[in-house]
């Protein structure tokens, strides 16, 4: 679709202006377009397929751990948001409201869901009566709406796509186990499938989900050193159970409130893939989620063309028969050089070139997107070699992102330290924190960095609060964030 036109535009170098690089890449790779409604984007096929890959990877893991999908209404009576005090404060200002249908006014205004704890809490109160009805383990794939002031494609949009899990349990212990299980599923998916290393930890109280007792997150570092919260898991205690009356008769014949959790990951993940792996040549997609894993390009003058294309087609069929997502580009109207840049820009992990000389030698030339490395692979046993190579690329992309994060992780003993490190080097900064809201607020005001999370497994325990110098209760990762 108007590809020729789009390709004329050059990609802005990352080092020059990271934001401009990001926007130029997502436009050039045809992942999205802006819509006429402020902050709402169109997910074009190349962008949406990344979301389909995320859906497949997460959905499989949810189902393996006993969760089932369901679907709840988008429209939620406005009054429902009043039932949990902190929840309404967090979400009311961004709620789009349906007030009319056709030309008739509605009796009660209906909010477009920003998240579904309220409507799901209302339903669970009807469904749960006894300990025998527990646990309830449900996930929903849905669109949600938050009228954000500043938007950025994939990372913060007025409407976005996500999954939200909502579970109910008989005991706090079981609900807390579920909260951790789902956080671990997000870590596993993001690290294994997206090749993005993350830090697991707990959010500080001021960064908690509105209405949660405890919020946990995985945080990923983008190539400009900024953080993205890539998934969250909340232990909600009995707050929503009390707000919506979700009670059950326990084995001991006592009526009790259930303990609930919720957890979510969204189309922000697409933004993470781009900002973690992309470079000045464009996207670089991890093989496990790349819609096209292998692009085959036959090369050569017209007189050998038929033979080269014929052999390429055979190899293509072998690759596809093995379940690889391979495609061939044998179009005449574009030069091989043009195609090389095109598929590099689109982030295809592996390019296979086949020319007359390769044909004679029984090889294909394989070029890795991540390293640019070239190697001749024998056509015999090609499928196995390609599979191994894709695994290597996946592992090496993770290692590269991990090394980048390590290289951009620092420590700060004081607020001045933190400010200096962020200005000079950026990245994640480890510091002690006394646990006081005021100190956390100072950090934000003076450095624009926020507490990303309190990691479960920090590289070092910091002893003093970076602001007030008192004894640190927590060791925290601070960073500027999307």
Choose from its own copies, Zn ion, none: what does 71 bind? Cβ within 5-8 Å by kind: its own copies
Output the CA–CA distances (angstroms, integers) from residue 325 to 101, 289, 309, 425, in the order listed. 46, 10, 18, 39
Q: Give the shortest CB-240-to-its own copies separation in angstroms.
A: 15
The answer to whether 296 touches 302, Cβ cutoff 8 Å, is: no
Query: Which H, E and C letters describe 365-381, residue by residue?
Result: EEEECCCCCEEEEECCC
319 touches Zn ion by CB under 5 A: no
Which helix (H) or strand (E) covers residue 398, if one does? Answer: helix 382-407
Choose from its own copies, Zn ion, none: what does 398 bind? Cβ within 5-8 Å by kind: none
465 touches Zn ion by CB under 5 A: yes
Determine how many CB atoms are found less than 10 A away from the CB of residue 305: 15
Residues of this chain, 153-192, that bind its own copies according to CB under 8 A: 158-159, 161
Output the CA–CA distances (angstroms, integers) from residue 362 to 227, 302, 322, 356, in the order listed. 47, 20, 20, 10
Distance CA 401, CA 39 (A): 30
Residues of this chain, 32-51, that bind its own copies according to CB under 8 A: 33, 35-37, 40-45, 47-49, 51
Instruction: Classify residue 217 by burial, with Cβ atoms within 10 Å: 0-12, 13-18, 19+.
Output: buried
Distance CA 133, CA 433 (A): 42
222 touches its own copies by CB under 8 A: no
Which of residues 80 and 343 has its CB atom nearest to its own copies in the complex?
80
One of 276, 345, 434, 479 touching Zn ion (CB under 5 A): 434
CB under 8 Å to 412, separation ≥6 — which residues? Answer: 418, 421, 429, 430, 431, 466, 478
Which helix (H) or strand (E) covers residue 145, if one does? Answer: strand 136-145
One of 13, 19, 20, 68 touching its own copies (CB under 8 A): 68
Distance CA 90, CA 296 (A): 50
255 touches its own copies by CB under 8 A: no
Would you list the DSSP string of 6-37?
A: HHHSPPPPTTT-HHHHHHHHHHHTT-EEE-SS
Reading the block at residue 221, the tokens are 């570092």
> Comparing C-alpha atoms, which of 32, 342, 300 is closest to residue 160?
32
Distance CA 451, CA 441 (A): 10
Distance CA 323, CA 382 (A): 14
436 touches Zn ion by CB under 5 A: yes
7 touches its own copies by CB under 8 A: no
Q: Give the shortest CB-79-to-its own copies separation in angstroms.
A: 10
The answer to whether 290 touches 349, Cβ cutoff 8 Å, is: yes
404 touches its own copies by CB under 8 A: no
Which of residues 31 and 466 has its CB atom nearest to its own copies in the complex?
31
Output the CA–CA distances (angstroms, integers) from residue 23 to 48, 82, 256, 262, 275, in the order listed. 17, 38, 51, 32, 11
Choose from Zn ion, its own copies, none: what does 439 bind? Cβ within 5-8 Å by kind: Zn ion
One of 8, 132, 150, 423 touching its own copies (CB under 8 A): 132
Among the residue ranges 143-151, 320-328, 341-349, 404-412, the one whose residues contact its own copies (CB under 8 A): 143-151
Reading the block at residue 317, the tokens are 């069929």
Length of the chain: 482
321 touches its own copies by CB under 8 A: no
Choose from its own copies, Zn ion, none: what does 406 bind? Cβ within 5-8 Å by kind: none
Choose from its own copies, Zn ion, none: what does 36 bind? Cβ within 5-8 Å by kind: its own copies
334 touches its own copies by CB under 8 A: no
One of 26, 54, 88, 110 touching its own copies (CB under 8 A): 110
402 touches its own copies by CB under 8 A: no
DSSP 222: -
Choose from Zn ion, its own copies, none: what does 72 bind? Cβ within 5-8 Å by kind: its own copies
Q: Give the shortest CB-435-to-Zn ion separation in angstroms.
A: 7
443 touches Zn ion by CB under 5 A: no
Choose from its own copies, Zn ion, none: what does 465 bind? Cβ within 5-8 Å by kind: Zn ion
Q: Give the shortest CB-469-to-Zn ion separation in angstroms.
A: 7
One of 58, 136, 274, 476 touching its own copies (CB under 8 A): 136
Which of residues 148 and 188 has its CB atom nearest to its own copies in the complex?
148
Q: Give the shortest CB-47-to-its own copies separation in angstroms.
A: 8
DSSP 89: H
Pairing of strands 474-479, 450-455: antiparallel
Choose from its own copies, Zn ion, none: what does 468 bind? Cβ within 5-8 Å by kind: Zn ion
Q: Give the shortest CB-175-to-its own copies separation in angstroms.
A: 17
- Contact positions toward its own copies, by CB under 8 A? 1-2, 4-5, 33, 35-37, 40-45, 47-49, 51-52, 68-77, 80, 92-103, 109-110, 112, 119, 122-123, 126-130, 132-133, 136, 138, 142-143, 145, 147, 158-159, 161
Contact residues: Zn ion, CB under 5 A: 434, 436, 439, 465, 467-468
């Amino acid at each position: 679709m108007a590809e020729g036109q789009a390709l004329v535009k050059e990609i802005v170098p990352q080092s020059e202006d990271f934001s401009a690089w990001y926007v130029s890449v997502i436009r050039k790779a045809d992942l999205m377009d802006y819509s006429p409604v402020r902050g709402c984007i169109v997910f074009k096929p190349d962008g949406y397929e990344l979301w389909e890959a995320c859906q497949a990877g997460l959905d499989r893991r949810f189902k393996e751990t006993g969760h089932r999908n369901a679907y709840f209404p988008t429209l939620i009576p406005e009054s429902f948001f009043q039932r949990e005090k902190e929840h309404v404060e967090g979400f009311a200002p961004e709620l789009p409201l349906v007030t009319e249908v056709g030309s008739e006014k509605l009796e009660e205004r209906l909010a477009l869901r920003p998240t579904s704890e309220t409507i799901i809490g209302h339903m669970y109160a009807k469904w749960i009566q006894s300990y025998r009805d527990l646990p309830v383990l449900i996930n929903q794939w849905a669109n949600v709406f938050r009228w954000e002031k500043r938007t950025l494609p994939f990372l913060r949009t007025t409407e976005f796509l996500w999954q939200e899990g909502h579970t109910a349990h008989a005991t706090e212990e079981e609900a807390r186990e579920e909260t951790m299980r789902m956080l671990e599923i997000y870590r596993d998916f993001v690290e294994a499938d997206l090749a993005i290393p993350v830090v697991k930890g707990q959010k500080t109280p001021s960064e908690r989900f509105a209405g949660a007792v405890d919020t946990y997150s995985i945080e990923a570092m983008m190539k400009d050193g900024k953080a993205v919260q890539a998934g969250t898991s909340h232990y909600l205690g009995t707050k929503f159970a009390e707000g919506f009356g979700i009670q059950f008769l326990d084995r001991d014949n006592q009526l009790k409130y259930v303990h609930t959790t919720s957890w979510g990951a969204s189309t922000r993940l697409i933004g993470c893939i781009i900002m973690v792996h992309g470079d000045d040549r464009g996207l670089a997609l991890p093989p496990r989620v790349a819609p096209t894993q292998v692009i085959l390009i036959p090369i050569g003058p017209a007189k050998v063309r038929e033979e080269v294309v014929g052999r390429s087609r055979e190899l293509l069929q072998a690759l596809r028969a093995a379940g690889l997502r391979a495609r061939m580009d044998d179009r005449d109207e574009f030069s091989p050089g043009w195609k090389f840049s095109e598929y590099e820009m689109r982030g295809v992990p592996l390019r296979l070139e086949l020319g007359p000389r390769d044909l004679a030698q029984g090889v294909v030339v394989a070029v890795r997107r991540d390293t640019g490395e070239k190697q001749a692979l024998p056509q015999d046993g090609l499928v196995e070699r390609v599979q191994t190579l894709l695994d290597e690329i996946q592992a090496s992309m993770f290692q590269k992102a991990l090394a980048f994060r390590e290289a951009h992780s620092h420590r700060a003993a004081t607020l001045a330290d933190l400010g200096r490190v962020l200005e000079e080097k950026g990245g994640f900064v480890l510091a002690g924190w006394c646990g006081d809201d005021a100190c956390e607020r100072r950090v934000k005001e003076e450095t624009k960095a926020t507490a990303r999370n309190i990691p479960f497994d920090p590289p070092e325990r910091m002893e003093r609060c970076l602001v007030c110098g008192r004894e640190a209760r927590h060791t925290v990762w601070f960073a500027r964030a999307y």
